[in-house]
Amino acid sequence: MKVSVIRSAVIDARIDEVWAALRDFKSHDRWHPAVARSRMENDLDGDVVGGVRRFSLTDGAEFREQLLRLSDREHTFSYCILDSPLPLFDYVATVRLRPVTDGGLTFWDWRSQFRAPDHRAAELEKMVGQKIYEDGFSGLRRFLAEKEGRPQLPGHKEATAALATARDEHLPSKALVVASAGGPEVMTLGDVTVPAPGPRQVRIRQTAIAVNYIDIQHRRGILAGFDLPGTPGVEGVGVIIDVGDQVNGLFPGDRVAYMSRKPGSYAEIRCVNADACIPVPAGVSDIDASTLLKGVTAGLLLSRVFRAAPGATILIQAVAGGLGHLLSQWAKSMGLKVIGTVSTANKAKFSRDRGCDYPIVVADDTSATSEVMRITNGLGVDYWVHSSGARGLNAALACLSRFGHCAVIGDRNGQVMPLDVSVLKQRSLTVSAPVCFDYFDDRSNFLLVHQLFAKIQSRTIIPAIEAFPLSQASKAHSRIENRQTMGAVVLTPGG
């Protein structure tokens, strides 16, 4: 059976430091916890393509691997297994590094393909992913920290042992619960206990919980994916209290952000899948990191969904909103001409200060047409980011230029959205309905998160955030639904 293994991690060190450690093919016995001894055959240097490393693991197993390609410019190398006591046939792996932020972090992608006997494929996939790749990430982090004389993160084993007692405990917490669908008042704050994290989970004490429009739709019962009674909220930021079994690369005390299609974040403490957690770099506050979902949605709208060239025109509905104000800043930084709709003059001023060249005050979603045509000299916009569902969709399509694209990212009331494809044929238009969670099932898109954090660190994007104590979530929802907020809204536990 053919097996693919892909793992990635962010290393808290500059790319040149990480690369210096990795590019020497025989150096893994210095940083990888599973490798006992390693040397190059024929006394070759560790960066000679074609060279073979012979190494033994701590359990005594012996391997030979050959370096197939190495590029200092691209920070990548590939290698294959020549001899192994395990049935890892035709094993070829690639390590690739990328700088991810101005703050000097490195994104490490490690992937391989091999064939394995059917009955051992799952076991070998897990072994390679965890014991080789994820333990390798942790090992290199420890190695670099020691080298720099930085305080070391606890090793996984030590941390797990120290936390063994705590992990059995249920911790008291407060959570907002929706018993039956309805208005903001249906959310009530109650006492809950949070069990120890299960396998591949971490337990987090949350510090900032974003409010997203989807939470309102869940609470109102107009969007699937929320079971009653339930706790709303699809993202959070906080500090890891403890980690479950089979968690690699995350430790108690780490500051992380996550987003998850499974609601439940309106709480002081919760368990989430470790795979969804992304370390928050220094220079990004917890409150700013709480723009994760909206920020990466902005990023994917501008890179994965439709790639507008510099100088192209984008129209953003509700440009003064949570997503809107981040998207306008990101679009502006790419050289796009930004038009946005808002409902008040105050919001127009707010968005003008945040990258929107032409805020249009509209009484309803359809009345932007004449203004859009005036601003674009009758050509229409190249890209329309639409969040009002069926309302105004036909007007949006009428405002698109030839080859224009409309991304339908939301609807306010859960109405059906009929689409007449013959309208698209008139000017070779395209329409998409992207959902951010679909893009983040694949960790390779985590790069967008690092781009977002880098833009926040460099102040290319300055989030505007209104904070409410967790206990006042109903008030926060009311203000959003009454269109009184500008920027994003966040809940702060303990506030």
Ligand X SMILES: NC(=O)c1ccc[n+]([C@@H]2O[C@H](COP(=O)([O-])OP(=O)(O)OC[C@H]3O[C@@H](n4cnc5c(N)ncnc54)[C@H](OP(=O)(O)O)[C@@H]3O)[C@@H](O)[C@H]2O)c1
Residues contributing to the site for ligand X (CB under 6 A): 212-214, 294, 297, 318, 320-324, 342-343, 347, 387-388, 409-410, 412, 434-436, 480-481, 483, 485
Instruction: Give the integer Cα–Cα distance in Å for 259 and 435.
Output: 13
Residue with tokens 């100088």: 311
Q: 413-424 burial, b if ≥16 CB within 10 A, otherwise e?
A: eeeeeeeeeeeb
Q: How far is the CB of 459 from ligand X (least distance, A)?
A: 21
Question: Which residues neighbour 459 within 8 Å (Cβ) at sequence distance 6 or greater?
Answer: none
Q: How far is the CB of 257 from ligand X (least distance, A)?
A: 15
Q: How far is the CB of 350 from ligand X (least distance, A)?
A: 9
Query: What is the number of other CB atoms lying within 10 angstroms of the CB of residue 148?
Result: 10
Q: How far is the CB of 186 from ligand X (least distance, A)?
A: 17
Q: Looking at beta carbons only, is 412 or 427 nearer to ligand X? A: 412
Terminal CA-CA length for the chain: 53
Q: Looking at beta carbons only, is 54 or 483 nearer to ligand X? A: 483
Q: To which H or E segment does residue 53 belong?
A: strand 52-57
- DSSP SS3 for 84: coil
Phi and psi torsions of 436, nearest 5°: -55, -35
Q: Looking at beta carbons only, is 8 or 485 nearer to ligand X? A: 485
Q: How far is the CB of 324 from ligand X (least distance, A)?
A: 5
Q: Looking at beta carbons only, is 238 or 410 nearer to ligand X? A: 410
Residues in the chain, overall count = 495
Q: Looking at beta carbons only, is 233 or 324 nearer to ligand X? A: 324
129, 8 Cβ separation under 8 angstroms: no
Q: How far is the CB of 208 from ligand X (least distance, A)?
A: 15
Determine whether 257 is exposed, middle or buried from the number of CB atoms within 10 Å of its CB (0-12, 13-18, 19+): buried
Instruction: Give the integer Cα–Cα distance in Å for 435 and 331.
Output: 19
Q: How far is the CB of 214 from ligand X (least distance, A)?
A: 5
Q: Looking at beta carbons only, is 111 or 294 nearer to ligand X? A: 294
Instruction: Give the integer Cα–Cα distance in Å for 32 and 26.
Output: 11
Q: Looking at beta carbons only, is 26 or 347 nearer to ligand X? A: 347
